[in-house]
């Protein structure tokens, strides 16, 4: 009898979409600025088979107020990055992560400047 084993650890995750170090640096820089402004408090990261999601929370025990998604399948179409609001509405989509995140930076400017 031949037994087949499922890989565990990094080998099992080869089919998942993930943010790379540069992308996480851009996202976490914005996150740090929003935390310092008192707008955001917590985050979560999910790596699934077709999408990587960085979820932003105002409080820990609630639904995310924003989701930053990376969908490589949309690279050739609308762009693989998207910012999605709490209600599921796509606020911005594009090919460049920094450009897409500007929609959230505008909210930071409004929060800091009364």
Tokens of 62: 């609630």
Question: Which two tokens mark 72?
Answer: 């490589």
pLDDT tens per residue across span 70-98: 988 888 888 889 999 988 899 999 999 99
Q: The dihedral of CA 5, 6, 10, 11: what is its sign?
A: positive
Count how many Cα atoms sit within 13 Å of the Cα of residue 34 in the half-sphere of its side chain. Answer: 24
Place of tokens 């990055």: 81
Domain regions of the chain by residue span? 15-107
User: How is the beta sheet containing 90-94 ordered, strand by strand?
Assistant: 42-47, 52-57, 66-70, 81-85, 90-94
The pTM (predicted TM-score) of the whole model is 0.78
pLDDT digits (tens, 9 = 90+) for 43-56: 889 888 889 999 99
């Amino acid at each position: 009898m031949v037994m087949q084993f499922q890989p565990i650890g990094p080998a099992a995750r080869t089919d998942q979409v993930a943010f790379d170090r540069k992308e996480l640096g851009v996202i976490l820089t914005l996150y740090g600025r929003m935390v310092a402004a008192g707008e955001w408090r917590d985050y979560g990261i999910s790596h699934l088979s077709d999408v990587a999601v960085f979820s932003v929370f105002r409080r820990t025990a609630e639904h995310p107020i924003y989701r930053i998604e990376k969908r490589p399948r949309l690279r050739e179409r609308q762009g693989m990055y998207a910012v999605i609001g709490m209600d599921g509405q796509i606020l911005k989509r594009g090919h460049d992560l920094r450009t897409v995140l500007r929609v959230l930076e505008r909210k930071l400017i409004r929060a800091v400047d009364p």
